[in-house]
Amino acid sequence: MIATTQPAIALAWLAASILFILSLRGLSSQQTARQGNVWGVIGMALAVAATLATLLLAPRPVAASGSVLGLLGLVIAIGCAVGAVLASRVAMTAMPELVAVLHSFVGLAAVLVGFANYLAPAAGANGELADLSRAVSSSAPGHAVHLGEIYVGVLVGAVTFTGSIVAFLKLRGTIGSRPMLIPGRHALNAVALGLMTVLAVMFVRAEATEGLVPLGAMTAIAGLIGVHLVMAIGGGDMPVVVSLLNSYSGWAASAAGFMLSNDLLIITGALVGSSGAILSYIMCQAMNRSIWNVVFGGFGAEAGAKPSGAAAVTGKITEATVEQVNELLRASHSVIVVPGYGMAVARAQHAVRDLTNELTRRGVKTRYAIHPVAGRLPGHMNVLLAEADVPYDIVHEMEEINGDFSNTDTVLVIGANDIVNPSAQTDSGSPIYGMPVLEAWKAGRVVMLKRGMAAGYAGVDNPLCYEDNTLMLFGDAQATVTRLLTALRS
């Protein structure tokens, strides 16, 4: 494909691809994440410039007409303006749902590109293959391959679009976080897959634009599958779902690249798709989940089963005051902070940083424990702490620090619930059973900062709140931590 374009444009596409690879490499570490973002921005700017140059140099005169270029310029300006406003106004607590919406845009784009490419194949920037597909018989291998690219691209795009919309609504709280397990759902998925296979044969064999009907029917079925798959996933697995949808959006973009004969889009989509799949697999391992369980929406759970069969939690909570927690921290030699989504909601990361800095100044060994799915997005807590300039060397992942809780005097759990829930190890009826958690209950004292006694995002009560060594400190996290800091300094 590259051989059919101008050498300078081919070189620009290659450079953009390398920049995207460097960007992914940079994003793999907190220390190099900023540089990784810079490489990504430069690569995207180069990709857009190369695409516009391809349009200008296209052999079809209409492609370079003033009306087309003016329309493209207007669309790019609107997109940049909307993106700039969203990036400047969105809160960190809303970042997961924003990411889900952006994934839906990629899926919708793949669907629209597929339909447009089928109805007007010669309109693409690289229309050689598309022009050929209209000129040759429908039995030609090249034509069938091109139709297959369109079909797969629309299918993946439709699943990504509707699945991402459901994920957005779940993360926003519009839809409940509990999984919707329909009886016989796996059989329904199998029937849908069979129907889409039949429709694929009908689509490839159709003459001219007669395949529009099976293509539209497949799109509707794929959209329903996207809704069904994500609705069947519980709130505790939503960070993995966001990562998985990121992978889907990458493959949808790659499929669009095949439809348009665009090498850069193929490479970029493959990078996003593969990196998202790898991240999803790593997170599933960290949660002791099967990747198939997440992909197929609770595969292995009993049909019609209630989302939560957790045992009822009984006991008495012990409420503490700021003064009592202050005295506890003063007497501690080691403290571990476990941040969660509640800290993000309260925007308490800067106050927490000041508190841990004061403890460190007093000679207390202070560290942070990060669970892989803390928050609503992979790396959510890491981003918050980096924003507050918390040193990287005191931020530890779960597998690095879990064995140290038994030697820790005090654990501050700030706005976290499911990731420190001991029922994940003890209650086989719990929806989070088997998920590795931070074993905070093994510390000498646990102080849980919460607004109230509401259950976590997975909808499960936490027995840790009723343990003898647990103190509950109720209130807004930012205000409470600020009061703790004032008391500690006085």
Handedness of CA 43, 48, 52, 57 (dihedral sign): positive
Any idea which of 67-81, 168-182, 270-284 has the lowest mean pLDDT? Answer: 168-182
d(CA 241, CA 166): 11
SS3 content of the chain, % helix, strand, coil (to 5): 65, 5, 30
Which position has the higher pLDDT, 232 or 129? 232
Taken as a whole, the chain contains a residue count of 490
Report the DSSP beta bridge partners of residue 368: 337, 395
Q: For the segment 400-449, what is each residue's pLDDT rounded down to a tens digit?
A: 999 999 999 999 999 888 889 998 888 777 777 888 899 999 999 999 99
Supply the mean pLDDT for the chain.
82
Assigned token pair, 407: 């030697």
Three-state SS for 397? strand
Q: Is the pLDDT of residue 96 over 50?
A: yes
Q: Supply the pLDDT for residue 480.
A: 94
Three-state SS for 367? strand
Residue 354 bears catalytic tag: no
Any idea which of 2-11, 14-23, 274-283, 380-389 has the lowest mean pLDDT? Answer: 2-11
Looking at this protein, which amino acid is placed at residue 172? R
Taking each helix axis from N to C end, the angle separating 263-286 and 33-56, rounded to the nearest 10 degrees, works out to 150
Inter-residue contact 466 to 302 (CB < 8 Å): no
d(CA 232, CA 246): 18
Q: Supply the pLDDT for residue 140.
A: 56
Inter-residue contact 150 to 114 (CB < 8 Å): yes
User: Which H or E run includes 450?
Assistant: strand 445-450
Of 467, 361, 358, 347, the C-alpha closest to 414 is 347
d(CA 289, CA 233): 12
* Residues contacting 325, CB < 8 A, separation 6+: 447, 471, 473, 484
Q: Is the pLDDT of residue 394 over 90?
A: yes
Q: What is the DSSP string of 441-482?
A: GGSSEEEEEESSS---TTS---GGGGSTTEEEEES-HHHHHH
Catalytic residue among 418, 427, 468, 476: 418
Of 362, 385, 238, the C-alpha closest to 297 is 238
Domains recognised in the chain with CATH numbers? 92-307 (no CATH), 322-489 (3.40.50.1220)
Q: Supply the pLDDT for residue 294.
A: 66
Q: For the segment 265-314, what is each residue's pLDDT rounded down to a tens digit?
A: 888 899 999 988 888 887 777 666 777 766 665 533 443 334 445 555 66
248-to-14, 18, 145, 339, 381 alpha-carbon distances in Å: 23, 22, 21, 29, 24
d(CA 360, CA 385): 16
Q: Supply the pLDDT for residue 263.
A: 82
d(CA 257, CA 16): 15
Three-state SS for 451? coil
Q: Supply the pLDDT for residue 46.
A: 92
pTM for this one? 0.75
d(CA 420, CA 290): 21
Q: For the segment 359-369, what is each residue's pLDDT rounded down to a tens digit?
A: 999 999 999 99
Report the DSSP beta bridge partners of residue 367: 336
Which position has the higher pLDDT, 346 or 127? 346
Q: Supply the pLDDT for residue 275.
A: 87
Q: Supply the pLDDT for residue 327.
A: 93
Q: Supply the pLDDT for residue 128.
A: 44
Region 58-69 average pLDDT: 59
Inter-residue contact 107 to 164 (CB < 8 Å): yes
* Residues contacting 289, CB < 8 A, separation 6+: 237, 240, 434, 435
Report the DSSP beta bridge partners of residue 335: 366, 410
Report the DSSP beta bridge partners of residue 472: 319, 448
